[in-house]
Structure 1
Amino acid sequence: MTGRLDGHAEDRGRVYQALGDQHISEHHHHGRRADEVEAPQGPDSVRRPSVGRPPVVLRDRAGVLERLRASVREGQGGEAFVLYGMGGCGKTAVAYTFFDLATRECGRAGLWVNASDRASLRAGMLAVAADRGAADGELLAARNGLRPAADLVWQYLDRSQESWVLVLDNADHPEILRDGSWLRTSPRGTVVVTTRRPAARWWPGAELQYIGVLPREDAARVLRDLAPHSGTQQEAAQVADRLGRLPLALTLAGGFLSQQVLDPWTMEAYGRRLEEGAGVELIDQGADALSEEDPRHLVGLTWQLTLDAFESRGLPEATALLRLLARFAPEPLPLSLLNHDGIGAALPRARCETALRALLDQSLTELVDTGERCVQSHAVLLDSVAAATSAELAAVLHTTAVALLDAAVPAVPDAGPHDPKLRLLVPHGLALLRGAGDRTTSAAALAVVTRLAAALHRTGDYLSARETARAAADLGEGRLGTEHRLVLAAGSRTGRALFRLGEYSEAEVLLRRVHAAQERLFGTDDPDTLDSRHGLQLVLGNLGARDEAVSLLRSTVAGRRRALGADHPLTLRSRSSLLVLLSASEVVQEEDGALLSLPAECARSLGPEHTVSLGARHNHAWALYQLGRFDEAGQEIRLVSEAYRRRFGPDHPVALSARQLLSRTLVARGHVAAAVEIMTDVVVRRERGLGADHPFTVAGRRLLGDFTSKERRPPAG
């Protein structure tokens, strides 16, 4: 001991020194214990505004708030307001404050929906319907696109026992509100929309309220609200002027100033840095022309100052992480995607936690919980960071982002229950495809997004699969050309989803076109050609073109044997389809009778629980039923039905198909009442999940009618 106190700590490090004996106990508690189970996010998440940080004090919005307050007084309702202005001007802060007073002071039920894109709007509005009392089956039908989702939501809003306030936040693409007529009014509540798009044609019947930058004095007060000890009102006003008096920039600047501990910054020092940087002229231009069409440059240097501070504090990985996040969409990004070795190309994986905490501390990103723990950053921030990233570095980051998404999507999508994480990945995959800088990166992104669409398809989320694959095909076509292999594969995937949604005619046209192009470009036995051919025969079989479907399916089986091998899962799957498409006499003769032993062959090659093995047993039960071997068929399909129910849940389309076949075998054995009970349940679930007019639902309803008539028919003799 020298007697000198010379310890030093940086950031959150701590040093304890003493001249005498000391005993120090320190306890740290970080987050949830490993043995604690996180409760699932319920539909009531729409009851809380999804904003990163509530405003400390809302400045200079009294007139707008008073007009909004009048709409929620007792007996009022049926009005819609559009808060418009450039990005970062505080539209969401105004909506948040109004939401709070409407719920807290006026007793309104508050409903908050992120309307930044089609998927977020749809999910949020369906959550609103759930909050207002919609049943699970109705929501499932709406999710699958077989019941008008907007009509369902507004039906329950109109029936609401409570008066409500509905906020549609970040509606910067009003065309998605028009598609389906999501924006409506109701005497039961008040609607508030925030958007950058002020054109009145987008908002018929709504009252527009402009939200602009703050007056000088109020802008200075925002800085001092957040960092009261950093400078005088006059110094704050000078900094506010340099920041263009944009609320978002002021919030970030005030947050930066208030969080410096070891080396606190003053307003004057902050302003001096603004003047010294290469971007001073850009900020001055933004301040002088506040109506500039693209407002992102007004805040670019504010964020860059924070990034520079990361560098000076020895946290370059925080900047690297933010640049990586800027490659993705401004939507909730599952944290599990970042927790992967592939991130090492952008920043050391061991430093990712530190980097993320730094971004959270500076309000450059936020944690959100959608049932999956996610991180989300503001769109303007991400655009600004992306624009300031060099082309060389952007290429590396984009490749890294695609690799991370690739690792998050199942390598070989398999059938399974609904997985909400998959839907969260969709906007990020499409963002990577939009932002790809060259053909190689575009191709890599397109391959991942198409595989993601296949994964959604396998869970029975056919609507999301169709929308994802179609968007991917359109984007890929613009970057790679109409006849690129991956573009055609995305089109084929779209056709498969259209078929499952009951849109047979559109599916046939698309799959015929794709199959013809693939056959011409890649050959008859190319795996992609064969995949489209298998999908096309499914459509034709359901359209009644049986002979052509059989010919295509036999060709697919032969081609897959040659290209992939006899034991490949896809070969076995196509052979399994023959059990359904062929007549009883043809099944017995096909492959010299070997087709009827296909389930045992699949079990030997793939295992008895493999999805293809279960499918083969399902189709084999149908063949047995066609052959009049009803007892054997009933025993097999009952076991398959139970396996499907365990793995996929009772509402999965394949589980309902198995239950329908089980009911047929029961009728054939004289157990009509039991069959009616099963088919009644099948029809109800199909109506909820697929819609009343889906071909599968119509066929099930017809079959139920046949069973019911048999049940009522008096016994012969």
Structure 2
Amino acid sequence: MTGSGFSTRGSDQITLAVPHGTASRRTLWGRDELLDELLVAVRNEGHKQDAGAVHVIQGLGGVGKTSVAVSVAHRLQRETDQVWWIGAQDASRFTGGLTALARQLGVPDEEIAVGRLADQLWRRLSALEEPWLLVVDNADDARLLDGPGRLALGTGLVRPHRSPRGLVLVTSRDGRPGTWGDHAVLHRLTPLGDGDGADVLLDLAGPSAGSREEAAELARRLGGLPLALNTVGRYLAAVGQRPARFRDAGETATFAEFRASLDDGGAFPHPGTATALAGIWRMSLDLLTERGHRCVRPLLEVLANFADAPVPLILADPAVLGEDEAFAGVGGAEIWAALQALAGLGLVDLAAANGVETVALHPLVRDAHGNPGRYALNARLLDEAALSDEAGLPEDVERWPLWSALTPHTVHAQTFESDSDDNGLFLVTWTAAMLVARSLDAQGQLSQARKLLEEVVARLGGSLGEDHPDTLLCRHNLARVLDDQGHLDQARTIYEDILTTQRNTLVENHPITLVTRNNLALVLHSQGHYDQARTIFEDILTTRRNTLGEHHVDTLVTHHNLALVLDDQGHLDQARTIYEDILDIERNTFGENHPSTLTTRNNLAVVLHSQGHHDLAAAEMAAVLSARRRVLGPEHPYTLSTQEWLNTINAARGEP
């Protein structure tokens, strides 16, 4: 809006009345604290420092911003008749409302016509001594509130005032502080919790629709979004009021049925709900597109294709996105601006957890914007992220938070299907799945790792063949997990099958073959075949020393495994010497509390215990336990194993 004056034509047809409806008649669940805060502001109780500030209720479309404003207005109407409501959906409605209010407050038409409306209006509002409330509703395009001045500078058509008992309340999806300026107080409205959401559903649909627990589960599936809760509650109430014989096929009458239909198809059984939400969010995207954010739609679709979990920003890599036609010419700065713009309207949340930057979508936003046509792009993003330097090795403890954030999206990606080839997208994402499984294994989440690897092995075998190198690699990782779980016979069978194939295609001492032989020897050791395992380890150790050197990680691993066998064979002095030598190297290379160093320290303590040095062993095992709790977590299998050993050693020392 660039004009300096306002027309008075049409303002007589503008109403300033507060809208009525269900919001004024029903309990507004979960908003008591905010309502109290706003009422205190209008009454200026305690003479708050932000008296006269513009209060902005901001949040996702459908989160209930207008309902809060209606509730505040109706409560204040019991105390004063100076409550005005202006819609800001478009320029004519907004300026017409301001003109009508100015006239009601006695601003002469000639002042309005020459462009002094804003100054005169706020001068008169500031002079009011009785309580008053001005609501500016649906100000999603805050540029309309600038007028000839600037909203953010306090010179716009909406601005701070000096009245001791007045409140300016704006509702908007735009939550960017820079939009409103330092004089504004932003109240971010978030979805309702499960309990309040259940209250909404029960309030509308009644107990005949199901139990409170079932209502809470449906509220969680709806993401606590008040618009969805109200629409679904009214729908279930309408269906429930009809005898069963008059219900059409597919109509859901209970909380549990409605939730099940959402989970089955991801679409609303009652189309009115989806239409209302889609319309609200479409307007938000239209607004952002008008502001120059040309990639917001495809970006939201890509994000919505991932799992219902916070999406690490590594999965929005500008380099990979830029290779897709939908993001042609779009760089990192523009993608970041689009993310911030989506967050500003509440469509996404930007946050950090455990050092991982993420973007999260409301469940219903995700349901509404997923686009299978972009699955191929999602698959490429996932593959590039898993193989990136930022992700690093899945066994690296410092990278576990990122791998944990990638896990749900990697698992979800295994459900992607392409129109041309059922396994086409799987062949892009299987590497990420294998790496995630390795991370799960390293973190001690063995059941999850096994389930994921079994699916990957089955699909790779069907697509590439059982003896394809990629299939063998995943089978090898599956065998490691089975070994960690104690399924030794299954692990041994897999290793022996892989080794047979490798011996037919590779030389005996090929690095890949050596890895398989090493892990097979570990299983043989666990089965009690000490002599057989020792022979294999000694042979591999000689080869790795000659080709890799004494201090190479693979050489250290084999030397460590040989010490395990020597310990069980009773060669304690030899085992102790090996552990001490390895420990010196690992401390200098990895550090005192690296997982590999801790494993060596743990096993050295076991040998010390076997040699009768119980006090020395107990002190070292206690130190390892403390470090493993800190590094791996208290429930990690290695931590629990160390705890058991410490108990055993202390028992030998005569302690309970």
Q: TM-score, normalised by structure 2?
A: 0.55
Secondary structure class of the residue paired with 1:316 = coil
Q: In the alignment, which residue of structure 2 is the partner of 1:146?
A: none
Residues 252-308 of structure 1, C-alpha deviations (whole Å, 9 max, x = no match): 135535x5xxxxxxxxxxxxxxxxxxxxxxxxxxxxxxxxxxxxxxxxxxxxxx68x
Counterparts of 1:328-407 in structure 2, within 5 Å, are 328-338=305-315, 342=319, 345=322, 346=327, 347-356=330-339, 374-376=359-361, 386-388=371-373, 398-407=379-388
Distance 1:553 1:447, change over 3 A: farther
CA–CA distance in 1 between the matches of 2:214 and 2:429? 45
What is the identity percentage for the equivalent residue pairs of Structure 1 and Structure 2?
19
Q: In the alignment, which residue of structure 1 is the partner of 2:607?
A: 623
Amino acid across the alignment from 2:381: T
Are positions 1:566 and 2:547 aligned together?
Answer: no
Q: In the alignment, is the contact (CA less than 8 A) between 1:450 and 1:490 conserved in 2?
A: yes
Q: In the alignment, is the contact (CA less than 8 A) between 1:337 and 1:405 conserved in 2?
A: no
Q: In the alignment, is the contact (CA less than 8 A) between 1:569 and 1:612 conserved in 2?
A: no
Distance 1:424 1:364, change over 3 A: same
Secondary structure class of the residue paired with 2:360 = strand
Q: In the alignment, which residue of structure 2 is the partner of 1:322?
A: 300
Amino acid across the alignment from 2:559: R
Secondary structure class of the residue paired with 1:196 = helix
Q: In the alignment, which residue of structure 2 is the partner of 1:97?
A: 233
Amino acid across the alignment from 2:264: R
- Per-residue deviation, 1:528: 4.2
Secondary structure class of the residue paired with 1:375 = strand
CA–CA distance in 1 between the matches of 2:510 and 2:474? 16
Are positions 1:580 and 2:564 aligned together?
Answer: yes
CA–CA distance in 1 between the matches of 2:234 and 2:149? 53
Distance 1:380 1:4, change over 3 A: closer
Secondary structure class of the residue paired with 2:295 = helix
2:528 corresponds to which of 520, 544, 547: 544
- Per-residue deviation, 1:450: 1.4
Amino acid across the alignment from 2:560: S
Counterparts of 1:399-418 in structure 2, within 5 Å, are 399-407=380-388, 410-414=391-395, 416=397
CA–CA distance in 2 between the matches of 1:380 and 1:478? 36
1:476 corresponds to which of 438, 442, 460: 460
Are positions 1:643 and 2:621 aligned together?
Answer: no
Amino acid across the alignment from 1:375: A
State how many pairs are aligned.
458
Distance 1:562 1:520, change over 3 A: farther
Q: In the alignment, which residue of structure 2 is the partner of 1:157?
A: none
CA–CA distance in 2 between the matches of 1:444 and 1:647? 33
Q: In the alignment, which residue of structure 2 is the partner of 1:499?
A: 483
1:69 corresponds to which of 205, 208, 222: 208
Amino acid across the alignment from 2:490: E
Q: In the alignment, is the contact (CA less than 8 A) between 2:563 and 2:575 conserved in 1?
A: no
Residues 120-153 of structure 1, C-alpha deviations (whole Å, 9 max, x = no match): xxxxxxxxxxxxxxxxxxxxxxxxxxxxxxxxxx
Distance 1:336 1:503, change over 3 A: same
CA–CA distance in 2 between the matches of 1:367 and 1:97? 30
Q: In the alignment, is the contact (CA less than 8 A) between 2:382 and 2:429 conserved in 1?
A: no
CA–CA distance in 2 between the matches of 1:362 and 1:24? 23
Amino acid across the alignment from 1:412: L
CA–CA distance in 2 between the matches of 1:532 and 1:45? 51
Distance 1:434 1:567, change over 3 A: farther
CA–CA distance in 1 between the matches of 2:551 and 2:427? 30
Q: TM-score, normalised by structure 1?
A: 0.51
CA–CA distance in 2 between the matches of 1:473 and 1:618? 33
- Per-residue deviation, 1:99: 13
CA–CA distance in 2 between the matches of 1:650 and 1:567? 31
CA–CA distance in 2 between the matches of 1:377 and 1:78? 20
Residues 7-29 of structure 1, C-alpha deviations (whole Å, 9 max, x = no match): x9x9655756469xx97498974
Distance 1:410 1:319, change over 3 A: same
Secondary structure class of the residue paired with 2:292 = coil
Residues 418-445 of structure 1, C-alpha deviations (whole Å, 9 max, x = no match): 9676445234224445548799975553
2:407 corresponds to which of 408, 423, 426: 426
Q: In the alignment, is the contact (CA less than 8 A) between 1:426 and 1:452 conserved in 2?
A: yes
CA–CA distance in 2 between the matches of 1:540 and 1:361? 59
Secondary structure class of the residue paired with 2:608 = helix
Q: In the alignment, which residue of structure 2 is the partner of 1:252?
A: 278
Q: In the alignment, is the contact (CA less than 8 A) between 2:625 and 2:642 conserved in 1?
A: yes
Q: In the alignment, is the contact (CA less than 8 A) between 1:640 and 1:658 conserved in 2?
A: yes
Counterparts of 1:527-538 in structure 2, within 5 Å, are 527-538=511-522
Amino acid across the alignment from 1:655: T
Residues 522-547 of structure 1, C-alpha deviations (whole Å, 9 max, x = no match): 44444444444443333333333333
Secondary structure class of the residue paired with 1:582 = helix
2:264 corresponds to which of 196, 199, 220: 196
Q: In the alignment, is the contact (CA less than 8 A) between 2:563 and 2:578 conserved in 1?
A: no
CA–CA distance in 2 between the matches of 1:99 and 1:518? 62
Secondary structure class of the residue paired with 1:412 = coil
- Per-residue deviation, 1:388: 4.5
- Per-residue deviation, 1:321: 0.9
Q: In the alignment, which residue of structure 1 is the partner of 2:645?
A: 661
Q: In the alignment, which residue of structure 2 is the partner of 1:610?
A: 594
CA–CA distance in 1 between the matches of 2:407 and 2:257? 21
Q: In the alignment, which residue of structure 1 is the partner of 2:223?
A: none
Amino acid across the alignment from 1:324: V
Q: Which has the larger radius of gyration?
A: 2
CA–CA distance in 1 between the matches of 2:177 and 2:346? 22
Residues 204-227 of structure 1, C-alpha deviations (whole Å, 9 max, x = no match): xxxxxx98556xxxx5xxxxxxxx
Amino acid across the alignment from 1:329: F
- Per-residue deviation, 1:559: 4.9
Q: In the alignment, is the contact (CA less than 8 A) between 1:641 and 1:659 conserved in 2?
A: yes
Q: Provide structure 1 residue ranges, at least 5 long, that are not aligned to the other structure.
A: 32-43, 83-89, 102-164, 173-193, 199-209, 220-246, 260-305, 678-717
Q: In the alignment, which residue of structure 2 is the partner of 1:461?
A: 445
CA–CA distance in 2 between the matches of 1:380 and 1:583? 58
- Per-residue deviation, 1:96: 6.0
- Per-residue deviation, 1:594: 5.2
Q: In the alignment, is the contact (CA less than 8 A) between 1:634 and 1:662 conserved in 2?
A: yes
CA–CA distance in 2 between the matches of 1:414 and 1:544? 28
Distance 1:348 1:495, change over 3 A: same
CA–CA distance in 1 between the matches of 2:235 and 2:450? 35
CA–CA distance in 1 between the matches of 2:536 and 2:397? 28
CA–CA distance in 2 between the matches of 1:368 and 1:3? 40
Distance 1:374 1:561, change over 3 A: farther
Residues 146-174 of structure 1, C-alpha deviations (whole Å, 9 max, x = no match): xxxxxxxxxxxxxxxxxxx99598657xx
